[in-house]
């Protein structure tokens, strides 16, 4: 039950972190505390600390979340292999090739929600019959807890990207509302164009009138002399 609480809290922290406000600081602190707790509970303090940084930085930069998440996955699965080689585990936790495939998958799919879902299936919810070929189920739960940092980084990166998209959409909507807030704006623009055209025509009309007046003044003395 504790494991589910930690998973839910850290993922919720990543989702709230996209607002980049008071909730960002609050949930970043919660992510640090819970991730370190996961590291201690999983007997791997370094993985917990890296998980914390992944959760915090992932809320700001998706590329950092991708790199940090891949590093955490590499560390976790490599550590599992070392423990197996040193005889600290009764049975190997994951297939040998999987510890190298997992970081590659994290790096390729980071920032997408499907990555979090796939990683959850790969590391946490495989069927017991398949797990029995490689390990004891409690040990899988223990090492699956160490993937929290990877998931939090991926979810945070995805959430931040989604928050950016929502902000852009909101800005566009507000701009459209401002444009549509004055229904007479187009009519005012047409009147302004008409006034500008009329003002540009007035000097030409005045010049034509002046020239015609001068011509009339010149022809008047000539007519008088003929009389």
What pLDDT is recorded for position 101?
Answer: 46
Residue 67 CA to residue 108 CA, distance in Å, equals 10
What pLDDT is recorded for position 74?
Answer: 54
Q: pLDDT averaged over the chain?
A: 52
What pLDDT is recorded for position 193?
Answer: 78
Instruction: Print the domain residue range for 49.
Output: 2-175
Per-residue pLDDT for 166 more than 70? no
pLDDT tens column, 93-137: 444 444 444 444 444 444 444 444 544 554 444 444 444 444 444
Residue 198 belongs to some domain of the structure: no
What pLDDT is recorded for position 141?
Answer: 45
Work out how many domains the chain is built from and give that number: 1
pTM, 2 dp: 0.24
Residue that is written with structure tokens 């370094």 in the block: 46
Residue 88 belongs to some domain of the structure: yes
Per-residue pLDDT for 190 more than 70? yes
pLDDT tens column, 140-157: 444 444 444 445 444 444
Residue 105 belongs to some domain of the structure: yes
Residue 205 belongs to some domain of the structure: no
Nearest to 69 by CA among 24, 127, 116, 1: 116
Share of the chain above pLDDT 70, in %: 6
| Degrees, nearest 5: CA angle 63-162-105 | 45
Can you read off the two tokens belonging to residue 39? 């590291």
Residue 71 CA to residue 51 CA, distance in Å, equals 10
Per-residue pLDDT for 191 more than 50? yes
Nearest to 38 by CA among 150, 157, 149: 149
Residue 89 belongs to some domain of the structure: yes
Residue 66 belongs to some domain of the structure: yes
Question: Do 10 and 55 contact (CB within 8 A), yes or no?
Answer: yes
- List CB contacts of 14: < 8 A, sequence separation 6 or more: 27, 31, 55, 58, 59, 152, 155, 156, 159
What average pLDDT does this structure show over 197-217?
Answer: 60
What pLDDT is recorded for position 198?
Answer: 72
What average pLDDT does this structure show over 61-72?
Answer: 51
> From the CB of residue 175, how many other CB atoms can be counted at a distance below 10 Å?
10
Residue that is written with structure tokens 């999983």 in the block: 42
What pLDDT is recorded for position 31?
Answer: 52
CA atoms within 13 A on the CB side of 5: 5
What pLDDT is recorded for position 1?
Answer: 43
């Amino acid at each position: 039950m504790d494991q589910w609480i930690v998973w839910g809290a850290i993922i919720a922290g990543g989702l709230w972190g996209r607002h980049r406000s008071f909730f960002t600081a609050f949930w970043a602190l919660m992510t640090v505390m819970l991730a370190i707790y996961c590291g201690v509970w999983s007997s791997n303090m370094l993985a917990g600390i890296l998980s914390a940084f992944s959760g915090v930085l992932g809320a700001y930069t998706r590329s950092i979340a991708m790199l940090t998440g891949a590093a955490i996955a590499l560390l976790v699965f490599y550590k599992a292999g070392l423990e197996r080689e040193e005889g600290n585990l009764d049975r190997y936790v994951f297939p040998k090739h999987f510890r190298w495939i997992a970081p590659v998958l994290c790096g390729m799919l980071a920032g997408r929600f499907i990555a979090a879902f796939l990683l959850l299936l790969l590391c946490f919810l495989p069927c017991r019959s398949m797990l029995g070929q490689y390990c004891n189920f409690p040990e899988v739960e223990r090492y699956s807890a160490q993937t929290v940092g990877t998931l939090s980084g991926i979810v945070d990166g995805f959430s931040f990207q989604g928050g950016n998209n929502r902000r852009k959409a909101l800005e566009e909507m507000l701009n459209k509302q401002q444009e549509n807030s004055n229904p007479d704006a187009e009519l005012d623009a047409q009147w302004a164009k008409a006034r500008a055209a009329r003002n540009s025509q007035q000097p030409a009309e005045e010049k034509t009138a002046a020239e015609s007046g001068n011509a009339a003044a010149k022809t008047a003395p000539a007519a008088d002399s003929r009389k």
